[in-house]
Amino acid sequence: MAGTVTVPGASVPSTPLLKDELDIVIPTIRNLDFLEMWRPFFQPYHLIIVQDGDPTKTIKVPEGFDYELYNRNDINRILGPKASCISFKDSACRCFGYMVSKKKYIYTIDDDCFVAKDPSGKDINALEQHIKNLLSPSTPFFFNTLYDPYREGADFVRGYPFSLREGAHTAVSHGLWLNIPDYDAPTQLVKPKERNERYVDAVMTIPKGTLFPMCGMNLAFDRNLIGPAMYFGLMGDGQPIGRYDDMWAGWCVKVICDHLSLGVKTGLPYIWHSKASNPFVNLKKEYKGIFWQEDIIPFFQNVTIPKECDTVQKCYIYLSGQVKEKLGKIDPYFVKLADAMVTWIEAWDELNPTAAAAENGKAK
């Protein structure tokens, strides 16, 4: 059952950034012992834990954390028939946490992700870096060859238009991983021992018109700017595809951000990805997606959202119609997915009526 638990704990840094404006969303099927390592960085914040799998199983959370925990029974109770849009037996269930949050910002992390160290050996406060990324502008309209011009010690290079130097609001901060790379199953199979040991000290804006494979294990976003588009699709139990949940969300988000002149950053911060998933299990989940993405990518590259769509919800509903019309020809799954996209928006607006009213007012 969902509940809120607050227990006094160890000392934490004073005045953490956005303490009352950010929720940390964690999908899990196991006890959250990994939070002990993150305690110095996460303890001041509110956690939303989305329990996947058997709802009768008890998930243990270390003492000292302020959290809500939702299992499948809670999701069904809160959303009713619309709970069909939330995946089961797949980490895509995390997006339910985005929906029930009431904060402006979201950080989501997987339970096999640990604190990484920078080249000097210092622990990386991934959450702090994500917040810095979100609070500074992006440069989606013109690439700066020194990467993030707003970072200390950098600036806009010669030839960068002054008219674009104010940048755009940042909607998404996409972090990376040391140790186990986020590879697909075929790459895992041919490079089973490969590890990412390269620490690149850079943050860059993904240019307008360029898609990217978004990974959900170390991700932050501005819920007010792009939240309704952060739907991780229908994956897992009863679906013909898995491990494309975050990428589907990323493609939808990027197209909508481009349309609404919002920015998406990638690079720092790094986390330490501790566990490689089974490549044979992954291949079974991915194999249809590996074929389908050859049609999905051109679809997103070529879709044009009408200028009348001036809210995230309107953009997303338009995208759902295009998914049904264009991708529905590939497989009936995409018709089902398009319907779930509409259901997701309806459920989001029901749980966030103030935000929905504001969006509707803006569209008038």
User: What's the number of domains the chain is made of?
Assistant: 1
Whole-Å CA distances, 358 to 48, 171, 313, 354, 363: 25, 18, 11, 6, 9
In a domain, 155, yes or no: yes
pLDDT (mean) for 139-145: 98
Q: Report whether pLDDT(12) > 90.
A: no
In a domain, 15, yes or no: no
Tokens read off for 43: 């303890």
Q: Tell me what pLDDT residue 276 has.
A: 84
In a domain, 80, yes or no: yes
Tokens read off for 211: 């898609």
pLDDT (mean) for 125-139: 98
Q: Tell me what pLDDT residue 354 has.
A: 77
State pLDDT tens for residues 76-93.
999 999 999 999 999 999
Q: Report whether pLDDT(8) > 80.
A: no
Q: How far apart are CA 130 and CA 119, in angstroms?
A: 19
CATH number at residue 264: 3.90.550
Q: Tell me what pLDDT residue 40 has.
A: 97
Burial of 42 (0-12, 13-18, 19+ CB in 10 A): buried
Residue from 288, 296, 292 nearest 319 by CA: 296
Reduced to 3 states, what is the DSSP secondary structure of residue 348?
helix
Q: Report whether pLDDT(199) > 60.
A: yes
- Domain span at 108: 20-351
Residue from 80, 103, 102 nearest 343 by CA: 80
In a domain, 145, yes or no: yes
In a domain, 226, yes or no: yes
Q: Report whether pLDDT(274) > 50.
A: yes
Q: Report whether pLDDT(166) > 50.
A: yes
Q: How far apart are CA 238 and CA 222, in angstroms?
A: 31
- Whole-prediction pTM value? 0.94
In a domain, 277, yes or no: yes
In a domain, 1, yes or no: no
In a domain, 5, yes or no: no
pLDDT mean across residues, the chain: 94
- For 271-312, what is the HEC assignment? EEECCCCCHHHHHHHHHHHHHHHHHHHHHHHHCCCCCCCCCH
Angle value at C-alpha 273, between 279 and 66, nearest 5 degrees:
120
Angle value at C-alpha 26, between 87 and 265, nearest 5 degrees:
95
